[in-house]
Structure 1
Amino acid sequence: MSPDPPVEAGRLSRRPRRGRLKVFLGMSPGVGKTYEMLRAARRRKAEGGDVVVGVVETHGRKETESLLRGLEVMARRPIEHRDRTLLEFDIDGAIARRPELLLVDEYAHSNAPGSRHPKRWQDVEEILDAGIDVWTTLNVQHLESLSDVVLRITGVRQREAVPDSALSRADDIEVVDITPEELRKRLEEGKVYVPETARLASQNFFRIENLTALRELALRRAAQTVDDQLVATLRERGVQGPWAAGERVLVLIGGDGMAGMLVRTGRRMSDMMMDAPWTVATVDRPSSASGDVGRAQRLAEAFKLAEQLGGRTVLLTGDDVVRTVSDYAHRNNITQIVLGRSVVTGWRARFSEVFGRSLAAELLRAARGVAIHVVTDAATPDTPASRPAVPAGERLWDGRGYAIGAAFVAFATGLALLLDRSFERVDLGVLYLSAVLAAGVLYGLRPALAAATAAFLVYNFLFLEPRYSFAIGSPTDFLTLFVFWAVATVTGVLAGRVREQARRAQRRASAVSALLVASQSLSAAEDRGTAARVLAEQTAAAAGARAVVLLPEGEDIAVAALAPLKAGATEPPHTLSPADMAAARWAWERGEAAGHGTGTLPQTRWTFRPLNGVRKRSGVAGVEAAALAPGSDEERLALAVMDQGAVALERAELAGQALETETLRRTDRFRGALMNSVSHDLRTPLSTVLGSATTLIDYGETLKPEVRADLLTSIREEAERLNRYVGDLLDMTRLEGGGLNVKADWTDVRDVLNAAAERVSWRLGTRDLTRDFPADLSLVMLDQGLLEQAVVNILENAIAYSPDGSRIELAAYEDRGSVVISIEDEGRGIPTAELERVFDKFRRMDEPSDRSQGAGLGLAIAKGFVEAMNGRIAAASPIHGDLGTRVLISLPKAIATHHQLL
C-alpha cells in the first residue's frame, strides 16, 4: 500500500500525523505476545497514558483475561453473516474515541464478510492514518513472503497473511521469545490449547525442529527491521559508507504455478540485501502463441502479490528473451536476477523451457556483473485438473479444423484415385502432402497432425503395396510418414504463430483506435460535465460493462455520468448504493482503488479508481464488478482511458477557471473604467450645476436677467448631460448583465430616424442636419426604442466631434437583404488605427471639440443594441479628403427583395 497522495487544500481537513505502530512478533502461537502487550499497556496506563483495548483475543487464558481488568475495552461491532452474528473490531468507534494508544490483537486476522476491509492489518492502517498509535501482535508464519518457507518447514499452508510492506512500516518491533522446549511445556500444561487440541498440535506443528526454524525466522526478521532503521538513521545524518541499497533484484516470472513462489523469493532476497529495490517482470513474446488461457490471470495475481509485498512490476516485450532481459538489467542497474524452473510436461513445457535452464544458461553467457539465481520447484508435475481449461470457442474451432482437415484428405483421396486410374507412375503422395499443408496453414498444429495421420493411413491403405492393408511394406513408407508429420508440425506451428501475431496486432490496433477515439472525444469536451459523460462512455466501451464517473461536489462527490444507460433512459441515475458510495469516497479521499477485487470494501458491485490528473485528483471512475479480468487487454485499455479522462477533466476544470478569471478581469476593467468615468466625467457637470445653483441662490436678486438666464441654461445643459451619462451607464449595465429585452415589431426605419433627429435637434447649434430617405422603404422587424437610442448616440457623437457650421447627413436605403442607415459628419475623422476600437467601451478621441463629449459609452451601446437586433454596425473614415466619418447600420430583412423590385 503506497503512501496517500496529498488531498486538495480547502476540500478536506488537514490529515493528522500518522500514528506509530508497534508489533509484538513471535515465532508461533503461545509464546505470550498478547500477554506481553497487555503488561506493557498496563504500565503505560499507570504512567497516565490514554490506553484503550480495541480487540484482544484471550482464547480463554485466565492470566491474559486478568490483565484486561482496569483497561477500557471497546465494544465490538456485530456483523450478520449466514444467519450468524459475528463480532468484529469497530474501526469507526475507535476513530471517534481517538485514544493515545489502541491495542489491536492478531494483526493477520481475516475479517468477516461485509466488513470495510477484508484484513485486520488494513483496519490498522486506517487507524494509523487517523493519527492514533497502535500496538498489535503477529506470528512470523503469517508474513506473506515466508508462506512457502513455512509450508516446507511445517507442512501447513497459512490461510491468513500480512504483506511484508505492512510490517516494514512498523516503527517498533518487539520479539516475544521463549525456547521451543518451554513452549512445548506450556502446550502440555494447557496454556496454549485445550488438551486434545494440544496433543495433536504437539505431534504436528509444535515439533522441536519446526519451532526452532520458526524461531530463527522471527529473529532474522526482527534483526532485518532493526538494520533497516539503522540504515535510515545513518542516511539521515549523512554518514558515509557502502550501502547495500546498490543491490537491485529482478524477478522473472512466467504464467506458470511458480510465479507466486518466485515473487516471495524476490522479497526475501530484498530483505537479505538490506531492503534492496526489487522488480517483478515478465516477457511478452509477440511472435509466440499463448496456449495457456490462464496465463494472464496468474500473471495478474503475481503482480498484485508483488505490489502488496512492496515490489515494482513491469511488462517487457520482445521476441529475444535473453536480449530483452539483459537490456533491461543494464539500463536499470540490476545486480541480481531470479528465475525459476518448474516441472511441467507436454506441450506446455515450451514456455517453461524458455524461462528455465536454457534461459539461465543464456543469461549466464550474456550477463556481465549480474548474479543469476535459479529457483527449482519441488512440486509434482501438473495434473490434468490443474491445467487450464480450453475455452469453448477454441474447442469448437478445433473441431471445425479437424473436420475440414478430413475433408482435405478425402478430396486428395478422390483426386488420387482418379489420377491412379488415368496415369501410370504418378507420385500421389504430393496430393496428400498438399492436403496436410492446407490443414496446417488454415487451422494450426493439431488439425494438421490429425490430417497427416489420416493421410498416411489412407495413402498406405489404398496406394502402397500391399494394397488394401495397413501393413508397411518398405522403409520408404516410414519416411513418408515422417515427412507428413514434419510438414504438419512446421506448418501448424508457423500458422499458429502467424494467427496469434495477427490477433495481437488486431487487438493492439483496436486498442490504439479506441484510445484515439477517446482522446479526440475527451479533447473536444468543453466542460467537466461533458468530459465526465465522454469518459463514462469510453470506459464502458473499453471494459464492455457499465461505467460511472463521480466528480467533487462541495465537500463530497456525486455521480456525474453513467454509461451505458438502460433501455429507454434519457438521464443517468444520480445515486449509488450506500456501500458503493462508501467505496467511491474511499477512492476519492485516499487515492487508492476500492470496491470489488480490492482490499477495501470488496463486497460492493463496483471497482472504483481515483482519477489522478497532472496536478491533483479530478474525480473517481468505477467499472461494474467482475467486468475486467486482472491483467487483461481490456483492463489495460480501460485504465489508459481513465488516465486520459483524468487529464481531460483537469483541463476542463482549468478552462472553466480560466474563463471565470477572464470574466473577473473584464469585470474589473469595466469597474475601473466606470469609476474613472464617474470620478472625472460626472464631477464636472455636478460642479457646474452646484456652482450655478449656489450663485443664483446667493446673488439672484442682484444678477442681471441675461446672467441669470445663462446660469439656468448651464444648469439645464449639465443636468441633461448627467442624465445622458446615467442613461448610458444603465444601458451598458443591461448589455453586460444580459438583461436586455428586445421587443421586435414591424417598423418603418424612416419614422425611427425622424424621431431620433428631433431628440438631438436642440444640440445642433449652427450645424446642419440633412435627411435623405427614399419614398418607399421595406419594413424591418426590430425594436423601435433600441434603434432610436442607437441612432441618437451616433448623432450625439457626430455633433460632439464636428465643428460648428458643418453638415451632418442622416440617410437610409435598402439592398436585397437589408435596410441600411448611414450617418455621416464632416468632423476631423478617426485615425485608421482606431477604427477597429471605436466601438469599445470608454473609448474616446483626444481633444474633443465639444465639452459635451460623453463618457465613451455611446458607440459601444449603439453597437450592443444593433447586434441585439441581429444587425451590423461599422465605421469608415475619412470620407471627405482627410475629414469626415460615416457610420453604417445594416438591419436584415425577413425576406430578401427581388432585384427587379429595388
Structure 2
Amino acid sequence: MPLDEPARPDPDALLAEAKRQGRGRLKVYLGMAPGVGKTYEMLTSGKRRLAEGVDVAVGVVETHGRKDTEALTEGLEVMPRIPIEYRGRQLMEFDIDGALKRRPKLLLVDEFAHSNAPGSRHPKRWHDVEELLDAGIDVWTTLNVQHLESLVDVVWKITGVRVRETVPDSVLSAADEIEVVDLTPEELRERLKAGKVYMGETAQTAAVNFFKPENLTALREMALRRAAQTIDDQLTQAMRRGGIEGPWAAGERILVLIAGDPTASALVRAGRRLADLMQDARWTVAHVERPNRPSRDPATGRRVAEALKLAEQLGAASVVLTGDDLPETVLAYARRNNITQIVMGKSPDKLWRIVAGRSLARALLQRSGGAALHFVGGGAPDTDNRMATPPPPRFSLLRDWPGYAWGLGMVVVANGLAFFLDRYSTGADLAMIFLASILITGLVFGLRAAVAASALAILTYNFFFLEPRFSLQIGHAADVFTFAIFLAVAAVTGWLTGRVRDQARLSSQRAAAVTALLAASRRLSGANTQEDAAQVLAEQASAAAGGRTLVLLPNDEELVPAAGAPGIVTLNAGAMAAARWAWEKGEAAGAGTGTLPQVGWTFWPLVGVRGRAGVAGVEVHESRGADQERMVEAMLDQGAVAIERAELAAATVENAALRRSDKLRAALLNSISHDLRTPLATVMGSATTLIDYGKSLKPEVRADLLLSIREEAERLNRYVGDLLDMTRLEGGALKTRSELVDVREVLSAAIKRVDRRLETRKLTRDFPAALTSVECDPGLLEQAIVNILENAIAYGPDGSGIDVAAYEDRANVVIAIDDEGPGIPQAEVERIFEKFRRVEEPSDRVPRAVRSKGAGLGLSIAKGFTEAMGGRIAAVSPLAEGRGTRILISLPKSVATHRLLL
C-alpha cells in the first residue's frame, strides 16, 4: 500500500461483523475456580440492568445453597425449569423453549459448560446459549477457566482432576465481552473455610486437593492470560474493521521472517526465545513467496517446510505470504495483524540492492512504523544432509546448448540477410537485422542465449559490415553505442523472458495443484462410505506425494489400515507407534517431526469438523518439495472432512432406522394401550358384572352382556391377528400359495364374516354372472377384503350404504368396495395405506365409528397381502359431494382375455 493511500477496513473483518448483525451479544464472567463470585457478580450486574429498564430474566442459576447468592435472585424473574426423567431420577434442566418464547432482552444463564441431561435438545448448555444468541437474545453466562477444552490436560497435570465438562476455546473467543472475576488464592481459601463455596466434608476435601495455593495461583494465571488473549483478538478485529494501521502495543505480537537459507530454523528458535522473554507473547513465522522470482532450488523449499514445521511444534502460527514487493508484503501483514516485533536474519546487503532500494532491512527500518526490528546473527545452520544439497549450477553449457545453438543460427541468418541487403541495396540499416536476431533469441531462450547471441552479433557485424571491414577494429565511436544497445536489448529481453517463463511455470504448477485438489474434492464428495473415502484419499495423496500412502481408521478403539495406494502395506512396530501417537495426541508424528523421526513414514491426524476421523501416513521421499508437502496436507484436510461426512451419513442412516423403529414401537404401544385395553376392559367389566350380579340380572341384560363379551373378544382377536399379520409382513415370513380362485366366492365369504357387524348399514353386491378365475391365495385375499370392509363399517355412519362390486378388463379382475363415510383428505390419499395411519376425525363422526376404527393396521395389511399376491391396491376419495371412499384391488389374470370376449 502506498504511504499516502488511506487505510481501508479489512473486508473479511467487515464480513464477520455483518454476520453478527441480528445476533445476540454474549458476555462471559470468567473465573479461576468455583467460589470466586462469578454468579454473584452476574446477578448483581443483572439487577443493575433491570433497574435501568432492561428486560432481564434468569434462565438458570445455580446457587449451591449460598444464601447471599439466593438473595440476589429476589426481584428478578426466574424462569421455571423443565423435568427430564433419567435412570429413574427426575432432573431439572434449563427450559430453552420457554426462554425462546419469553424472549427477554437479556437472559442470565449460569454454568456455561454444564452437560444437559440425556433427552434434552442439546447435549451442552453452551449449545443452548448459541441457539439463544442466534435468536437475537443477549446472554450473560459464567465459566471457570479449567473448563476450556485446550486446558484440560494442563489442568489435570496441575490439579490431578480430569475435567469432563468442557467448552471449545472458539466459543469463548467469539464472546463479545469477557469479565474476569478475580480473587487472590488466600481470599478464596478463606471463603472455602467459611462455607461460602462448599459445605461440610466437601469443603474440607476440596481444600486439601483442588484448592491448594499453588493450584489456585496457576489457575489464576491461566484465567488472566486467556482473558488477555481474547481481548487482544478483539482489539485486532476492531482495528481491521476500522482500517486502523498498527501496531498498537497493547499486547506483544511477534513476526519471524524466514527465507530458504540454512539459518531458517535458527531464526525460528530465536523467535521462540523472544516470545518467552515477552511473557509467552503470540508469535508467527512467515515466509514470502515471490511469483516474479520463484525458487528453483528444491533444498530451499525443504528448508522452509522444515522451519515451518518446527515453528508449529514450538507453538507458533505459520503463514506463507505471496507478493512481488517483499517489504510491502511483510509490512501489510504486520499492519493487519498488529505486529509489534519483527525478527529477521542479519546478512550483509550488496551495494546494488541498497542503491536500487531492494534492501529488505533498510526498507523495513524506514517504513516499519511502530514495530520493533530484531536482527539475528547467523546461527548454527542446518546440518541435515537433505538441507546440504547444493543448488543446481547457475551455468551449464551442456544444459543450455539448445539456446546457444539457436542464437548461433539466428546470427548466421542475420549475416546472410545482411550480405544480401548490403550487396543489392543501399542505405539499409543492417544493425536492425542483428538486433532482431538478438531479440528473437532472448524471447525464445532467455538471458544467457541472448547475451551469447549479442556477443556473436557484435563480432560478426563489426567484422563483416563496419569500416574497416574484415577487422575487429571499431572505426567510429557511434558503433560503441550500437553494441551497447545490442547488449541492453539482450539483457532486457532475456531477463523479461526468464521472468515470464518462471511465472508461467509457477502458474502451471498452481493450476495443476488446483486441478488436483478439485479432482480430489469431486471424488471425495462422491464417496458414500468411510472405506471409499479413505481409498480415494489414499490414491490422491499418493499421486500428490509421489510415494506410498496409507489411511488408518479407528475400529473398536484400535487403529487399523483401511486403504492404501498403490496398496495396503504392513507397518512395522515403530511406524504403528507413530500412527497411534498421531491419533491419540492429534499431532503429526514420524519422519520430519519431533516424535519417532527415525521411522520412514510421516503420519498426520485426519481432523474434521467434529474431531479426529483417522490417520494418514505418507512414506518419506527424498525428492519431495515444500509445494508437494502443502498439497498433501491440503488433500488430507479434504479427506478428513469426507471421511467424517461418510461416518455421519452412516450414522444418519442408522439413526433414521432407529427413529423409524422407535416410531413404530411408539405407535404399537399406543395401539396396545388404547385398542387392546378397551376391549379387555369391556370383557372384564361384563364378566365381573355377570359373576357378581348374574342371578339378579334380567335375561335380556345377561344376554346383552354376553354379546358384548363375544363382540369385544372378537375385536381383540382381530387386533391381535392384525399385529401378527403385520409382523409376518415386516419380517418377510409371509408365505403365499397360488390356486385358481373365483373372486365372487371369496367376496361372499368375506361379507359373511362381517355380516353381524354391519348392523343398520346396507351392503349391496354387484357381481357379474360370469367372472374369470385368477391365481392367488384365497385366504390372504379374503383377509384383505375383510380388513377393507371393516374399515368401511368403521367410518360409515349408521344407515349408510356399502357397495361391493367385482368386474374384469382384458388383463385384470378388479374388486371395488365403496362406503359413504366422510372421505379422505386429498393430501392423505397416498398415505392411507401406511402403518398406524389414521385420518383425523371430523367433528360430525359418531362415537361408535370412532371407537371401532381400529389400530390403523387394516389397510396396511390389505396392501401387503395384495402386493404379496402380485396385485395392486389403491384408494379414491371423495366420490360425491365431498364424501365417500373407494378401495380398489386389481388382480392380474394368467392370460389376458380377448377384447371381443368381454
Q: TM-score, normalised by structure 2?
A: 0.63
Q: What is the one-letter code of the residue matched to 1:364?
A: L
- Letter in structure 1 aligned against 2:444: L
Partner of 2:122: none
Does structure 1 residue 323 correspond to structure 2 residue 324?
Answer: no
Question: Which runs of structure 2 are paired with 1:494-513 in the superposition (5 Å)?
Answer: 494-513=496-515
Q: Matches of 1:880 and 1:327 in 2, distance apart?
A: 78
What's the CA shift for 1:589? 1.0
Quick check: 2:254–2:284 contact (8 Å CA) kept in 1? yes
Shift of residue 281 of structure 1?
Answer: 1.5
Question: Is 1:624 aligned to 2:646, yes or no?
Answer: no
Shift of 1:610: 0.6
Alpha-carbon distance in structure 1 between the residues aligned to 2:708 and 2:279: 95
Counterpart in the other structure of 2:854:
854
1:793 counterpart residue number: 787
Aligned residue in 1 for 2:243: none
Partner of 2:596: 601
1:672 is aligned to 2:674: no
1:641 pairs with one of 631, 635, 638: 635
Counterpart among 271, 279, 287 of residue 284 in structure 2: 279
Matched, 1:761 2:752: yes
2:359 aligns to what SS in structure 1? helix
Spell out, residue by residue over 1:386-410, the C-alpha distance to the aligned partner (whole angstroms, 9 max, x if none).
7834399999873333333333333
Instruction: Name the CA shift for 1:752/1:247 in 2 (closer, same or farther; >3 Å).
Output: same
> 1:83-107 deviations in whole A, cap 9, x for unaligned?
xxxxxxxxxxxxxxxxxxxxxxxxx
Q: Which residue of 1 aligns with 2:343?
A: 338
Q: Does the CA contact (< 8 Å) of 1:874 and 1:887 recur in 2?
A: yes
2:318 paired residue number: 313
Give the whole-Å Cα distance in 2 for the aligned partners of 1:862 and 1:392.
87
CA distance in structure 2 between the aligned counterparts of 1:552 and 1:323, rounded to whole angstroms: 47
User: Is the Cα–Cα contact under 8 Å of residues 253 and 339 in structure 2 kept in the other structure?
Assistant: yes
TM alignment of 1:144-543, pairs within 5 A: 235=221, 246-342=251-347, 358-375=359-376, 377=378, 388-390=390-392, 398-543=400-545
Q: CA 1:376 to 1:798, structure 2 compared with 1: closer, same or farther past 3 Å?
A: same
The CA deviation string for residues 46-82 of structure 1, in whole angstroms up to 9 with x for no partner, is xxxxxxxxxxxxxxxxxxxxxxxxxxxxxxxxxxxxx
- For structure 2, the residue ranges without an aligned partner over 5 or more in a row are 1-152, 160-214, 233-248, 382-386
Structure 2 residue 805 is the aligned partner of structure 1 residue 810: yes
Could you say which residue in structure 2 is the equivalent of 1:875?
875
Show the counterpart of 2:235: none
Q: AA paired with 1:761?
A: K
d(CA) in 1 for partners of 2:307, 2:518: 31
Partner Cα distance (1:230, 1:693) in 2: 74
The 5 Å alignment of 1:833-844 reads: 834-844=828-838
**SS of alignment partner, residue 294 of structure 1:** helix
CA-CA distance at 1:271 after TM superposition: 4.4
SS in 1 for 2:838: coil
User: Partners of 2:283 and 2:892 in 1: how far apart?
Assistant: 75
Q: 1:762 to 1:608 in 2, by over 3 A?
A: same
In terms of mean alpha carbon deviation, does 316-325 or 287-296 score higher? 287-296
The answer to whether the Cα contact below 8 Å between 2:746 and 2:778 also exists between their aligned partners in 1 is no
Offset of residue 583 of structure 1: 2.0
- 2: distance between equivalents of 1:777 and 1:400? 92
Deviations 1:519-544 (A, max 9, x none): 33333434333332333233233323
Contact 2:802–2:817 (CA under 8 A) maintained in structure 1: no
In 2, distance between residues paired with 1:867 and 1:326?
75
| Cα 1:418/1:865, change in 2 over 3 Å | farther
Contact 2:275 2:283 in 1 (8 A): yes
Counterpart residue number, 1:151: none
Matches within 5 A, 1:549-568: 549-565=551-567
- Across the aligned residues of Structure 1 and Structure 2, the Cα RMSD in angstroms comes to 4.6
Structure 2 match to 1:74: none
Q: In the alignment, residue 520 of structure 2 is paired with which amino acid?
A: A
* Superposed displacement of residue 421, structure 1: 3.3
Q: Name which of 723, 726, 729 aligns with 1:732.
A: 726
Assess, with a 3 A threshold, how the Cα gap between structure 1 residues 419 and 666 changes in structure 2: closer, same or farther: same
CA contact (8 A) 2:686 2:709 kept: yes
Distance change >3 Å, CA 831–CA 343, structure 1 → 2: closer
Report the Cα distance in structure 2 between the residues aligned to 1:852 and 1:730, rounded to whole angstroms. Answer: 19
In structure 1, how many angstroms separate the alpha carbons of the residues matched to 2:356 and 2:720? 86
Cα deviation, residue 500, structure 1: 2.1
Asked whether the 8 Å contact 1:543–1:634 carries over to 2, the reply is yes
How many angstroms does 1:492 deviate by?
A: 1.6
Q: Which amino acid aligns with 2:637?
A: D
- Distance of aligned partners of 1:727 and 1:392 in 2 relative to their CA distance in 1, 3 Å threshold: farther
Rounded to whole Å, the distance in 2 between the matches of 1:596 and 1:830 is 70
Instruction: Please give the alpha-carbon distance, in whole angstroms, between the structure 2 residues aligned to 1:391 and 1:772.
Output: 102
User: How far is 1:297 from its partner?
Assistant: 1.4
Matched residues, percent identical? Answer: 56
User: 1:657 is matched with which residue?
Assistant: 651
Deviation at 1:296, TM superposition (A): 0.8
How many residues are paired up? 659
> Could you say which residue in structure 2 is the equivalent of 1:723?
717
The one-letter amino acid paired with 1:331 is: R
AA matched with 2:719: Y
Q: 1:891 to 1:528 in 2, by over 3 A?
A: farther
Q: Using the TM superposition, give the Cα deviation of residue 856 of structure 1 relative to its aligned residue in structure 2, in angstroms.
A: 1.2
TM-score normalised per structure 1: 0.63
Q: Deviations over 1:366-400 (max 9, x none)?
A: 121122334455999xxxx9783439999987333
Give the counterpart letter for 2:305 in structure 1.
A
On the 8 A contact 2:582/2:615 being kept in 1, the answer is yes
CA shift, 1:729, in A, is 1.2
- Tell me: CA distance 1:681–1:487, structure 2 relative to 1, closer, same or farther (3 Å): same
Q: Kindly state the Cα deviation for residue 831 of structure 1 after the two structures are TM-superposed.
A: 3.7
Task: Look up the SS of the partner of 1:337 in the other structure.
Answer: strand
Distance (Å, rounded) in 2 between the aligned partners of 1:457 and 1:267: 59
On the 8 A contact 2:746/2:781 being kept in 1, the answer is no
In 1, Cα distance between equivalents of 2:726 and 2:395: 72
Q: In terms of mean alpha carbon deviation, does 764-773 or 706-715 score higher?
A: 706-715
Q: Secondary structure at the match of 2:875?
A: strand
CA distance in 2, matches of 1:625, 1:790: 69
Match of 1:885 in 2: 885
Q: Which moved more, 1:427-436 or 1:387-396?
A: 387-396
Matched residue SS, 1:602:
coil
SS in 1 for 2:449: helix
Does the Cα contact within 8 Å between 2:264 and 2:304 map onto a contact in 1? yes
- The residue type equivalent to 2:565 in the other structure is A
Match of 1:622, SS state, is strand
- Unmatched runs of 5 consecutive residues or more in structure 1: 1-126, 134-228, 566-571
1:679–1:235: structure 2 CA closer, same or farther, 3 Å change rule? closer
The amino acid of 1:441's aligned partner reads L
SS of the equivalent of 1:304 reads helix
For 1:230 and 1:702, how far apart are their aligned partners in 2?
A: 85
